Amino acid sequence: MDSVGPGWGSSVRVGPADVPFSSFAAKGETTMSPTDTVLMTPPTTDSAHRVAALNRNDKPFHVVLAQQFDRNTIEQLCQLADMIRSIGGSRQGTQFLRTMLSHRRAMLYFIQPSTRTFLSFTASCQIVGMPYNEVRDRSTSSEVKGESEDDTIRTFSQYFDLIIMRHPAEGFAEHVANMLNESTRAIPVINAGSGKDQHPTQALLDIYTLMRSFGEESGGESRAPAEPGAVGEPRTSVRAISGSPNGTRAIQPGARFHRNLFAGKTIAFVGDLKRGRTVRSLTYLLCRYPGVRLVFVSPPELRIGEDILDYVSRHGIEFEISDDVRSQLGEFDAVYMTRMQDEWDLNGESKSIAYDRYAINYEMAREFKPNLVIMHPLPRRHELDPRLDALPQARYWQQVRNGMWMRAAIIASLFNVDTAIRDHYYAYYTY
Ligand code: NCD
């Protein structure tokens, strides 16, 4: 449940956060892509009611809003992702995981471009054995014959047990979840990106990456044994209780996730924060961690939304608004880079923004903290120099792979096979 309420303390607002937003809003920018045919407005009811409608028994039934995830749920998912990763490292483990959801089917309805999110969902369906089908282009569906999108989705719900959807309209995934709740076949909906608003599964894989990176002393991102099966790693079979499958000490998934690894850390978000949905969703999750400090670095025209800043304030999280990456680079423990989201431009307005100032390059690396964590949801453009890829601080390719394990964990949890996976892990992967 969303825990907004008294007792959260007050925020520190530094910088010109109250300055009115960009000229885009003044030009009447809508929440829609120019290609949209329907107008969906996000529900205006308060967050707790929205969250309650998407949850069952106090846990997510649909995955639509990052606000659905409390700290315990986040940490359970990270732990489960680590377990699936370990189990998935051997042939026997992979075969076990594939039995988990072989009796269910998923529909991937992706009518916005996607490489990583789409492919990681297909890979994660394969990990848990779930057959899937896809519609990625409306022109191949009966929508061209005039069928409404609601009817299209209700049709999916008759054939499949899960809908994973990416859609240009904010609020549409939530509308679908609420519509299916009222239908005769209420199946879960996963929001794989809703307009400029939210991308909750990206936020979960992002926080998983941050936790693995910050928790390195207890076996995290860089010190963890390479996953068996990776090139150059021996492929070994599952051994019984006395050893981990690849013959090295197993990562103890619980160890690092139950501490507040974010207390005292400064996390910077850089780029187009006005239209980037990943930053919005990750900010909601980070508000579960008291003591974290957030710096929102963007051109003045592309500042993070006031709704997000209000949420951060209500949760007593310290934050700062900045338009300069360089001056504070040496203070950041993590920097989350993003590209210009110019597909949302109405009249090419992004072209007049000096985005080069919101880039990091190899020459700046001398200013990095040794343990800096550089992230990017990808795709990248010039804001993230490929020469940085070789540095230990670059975590964005691990971030991509983490997405596959995290999404497998999310699907497993939605269908309540998480307990079977945990039992299997504790039976065969710990000692
Ligand atoms: C992001 C998205 O689609 O919001 N990509 C992703 O899912 N990894 C970020 C982006 O497109 O810039």
Question: Domain residues of the chain, as ranges?
Answer: 13-28+202-225+257-399, 52-198+403-420
Instruction: State which of 112, 196, 202 you would mutate to test the pocket of ligand 1, scoring each by most atoms of that ligand within 8 A of its C-beta.
Output: 202
Name which of 190, 194, 196 is nearest 172 in CA terms.
194
For the stretch 255-299, pLDDT in tens is 667 789 999 999 999 999 999 999 999 999 999 999 999 999 999
- Count of CB atoms within 10 A of residue 226's CB? 13
Amino acid at 352: S
Question: What pLDDT shows up at residue 258?
Answer: 79
Taking CA atoms only, the protein residue closest to ligand 1 atom 8 is: 377
CATH domain 52-198+403-420 topology: Rossmann fold (3.40.50)
> The tokens of 18 are what?
């109250």
Question: What pLDDT shows up at residue 236?
Answer: 36
For domain 13-28+202-225+257-399, give the CATH number: 3.40.50.1370
Secondary structure element (H or E) that encloses residue 304, with its range: none
User: Distance (Å, rounded) from C-alpha 82 to C-alpha 62?
Assistant: 22
**pTM of the predicted protein model:** 0.85
Buried b / exposed e over 52-83, threshold 16 CB at 10 Å, is ebbbeeebbbbbbbbbbbbbebbbbbbbbbbb
Please check whether the two domains, 13-28+202-225+257-399 and 52-198+403-420, share a CATH topology: yes
Question: What pLDDT shows up at residue 227?
Answer: 59
Name which of 305, 298, 368, 309 is nearest 338 in CA terms.
298
| Nearest atom, ligand 1, residue 277 CA | 4
Residue 252 alpha carbon to ligand 1 centre in Å:
31
Taking CA atoms only, the protein residue closest to ligand 1 atom 1 is: 377
Beta bridge partners of 268: 295, 335
Beta bridge partners of 374: 335, 394
Residue 380 alpha carbon to ligand 1 centre in Å:
9
Residue 278 alpha carbon to ligand 1 centre in Å:
7
Question: What pLDDT shows up at residue 47?
Answer: 86
Beta bridge partners of 384: 360
The response to whether residue 278 sits with its C-beta less than 6 Å from ligand 1 reads yes
Name which of 217, 230, 175, 166 is nearest 194 in CA terms.
166
Alpha carbon distances (Å) from 176 to 21, 64, 397: 31, 10, 32
Query: Angle, to 10 degrees, between the axis of helix 71-87 and the axis of helix 418-428?
Result: 50
For the stretch 322-350, pLDDT in tens is 999 999 999 999 999 999 999 999 999 99
CB 279 within 8 A of CB 269: yes
First to last CA, the chain: 35
